[in-house]
Every structure is written in C-alpha cells, then in structure tokens.
C-alpha cells in the first residue's frame, strides 16, 4: 500500500469536489469516529463466536467501513503533517518493547 499515492488520490477527490473547507482536523477525526461506529454496528449483537464467522455480505460491509476509516485517517494525517507510516512504525516498536515476551 503506497500511502503517498493513496493520499494524492484522496486529495484529487477532495479538490474536485471542493471539500477542502470541510476537511479540518476536527471534522476528519469526527468522520473517522462515525465510520468506526458503523464498523461496530456490524458486530453489535453478535456473540464472540459469531463475530469470527461473518457472512460474505458482512465481511464486505466490514471491509468498506475499514476502508472509510483508513481514508479519513490518511486525510487527517495529511492535514496535521503526521507521517502515518512513521507513526505506525513508532507505535509498533513501542508495543513490541512494552509487550513482547
């Protein structure tokens, strides 16, 4: 996954639709949260076992919501000047240091 290319494509969509004024960090964080809630909705009434055995339609829907979340986070990183890959690598290294046995 090339994050620079994905962000560039997102910026083209944003700019072609004149959405930049709506893409403040606050709005993008809220939008990512709303999409996360939509992902949670898929699992809301499922048991632990059922949550591991989604139907094809549920898996497709979950994938769409994950895509929405990631895209909003890419836009948020762009607006804030955060290098997503570096942030993820740093967090993973911290988790490995803290939790790897």
Number of structural domains found in the chain = 1
pLDDT at position 36, please?
Answer: 98
pLDDT at position 100, please?
Answer: 87
pLDDT at position 1, please?
Answer: 84
pLDDT at position 79, please?
Answer: 97
The range of the structural domain enclosing residue 76 comes to 3-99
Q: What is the DSSP string of the chain?
A: --HHHHHHHHHHHHHHTT-GGG--HHHHHHHHHHHHHHHHHHHTT--HHHHTS--HHHHHHHHHHHHHHHHHHHHHHHHHT--HHHHHHHHHHHHHHHH--
* Regions of the chain where pLDDT drops below 50: none
CATH number at residue 62: 1.10.287.1080
């Amino acid at each position: 996954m090339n994050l620079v290319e994905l962000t560039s494509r997102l910026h083209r969509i944003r700019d072609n639709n004149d959405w930049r004024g709506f893409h403040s960090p606050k709005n993008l964080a809220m939008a990512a949260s709303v999409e996360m809630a939509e992902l949670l909705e898929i699992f809301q009434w499922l048991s632990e076992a059922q949550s591991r055995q989604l139907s094809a339609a549920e898996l497709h829907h979950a994938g769409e919501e994950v895509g929405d979340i990631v895209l909003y986070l890419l836009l948020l990183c762009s607006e804030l000047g955060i290098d997503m890959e570096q942030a993820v690598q740093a967090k993973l290294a911290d988790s490995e240091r803290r939790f790897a046995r």
